[in-house]
Amino acid sequence: MIRVNNRDEVDWREGLTVSVLLDRLGYTYPHIVVTVDGQVVYEEEYDRRVIPDGANVRLIHLIAGG
């Protein structure tokens, strides 16, 4: 199990990457800040950054307004 945004528990599975998690949760925002256990994960790492079981993941989408 992993915790997302300090509130939602999400089933964990071997090989879970940031890209897979974003797809599973429906995050399609153009600008997202991702941290795994407090470490920033850059967009170019999403496909290969594996999330460990028990991790705390933060997904923050940025919105511009005017």
Any idea what the CATH number is for the domain that residue 11 is in? 3.10.20.30
Whether the pLDDT of residue 65 is over 80: the answer is no
In a domain, 21, yes or no: yes
> Residue 32's pLDDT is what?
93
* Position 23 in a domain: yes
Using one digit for the tens of pLDDT, what is the confidence trace for 4-59? Answer: 999 999 999 999 999 999 999 999 888 899 999 999 999 999 999 999 999 999 99
Number of domains the chain is built from: 1
> Is 66 within the bounds of a domain?
no
Structural domain that includes position 40: 2-61
What's the pLDDT score for residue 28? Answer: 87
CA 49 to chain centre: 10
Confidence of residue 63 (pLDDT cuts 50, 70, 90): confident
Domain contains 17: yes
Q: Is 46 among the domain residues?
A: yes
| 24 domain-assigned | yes
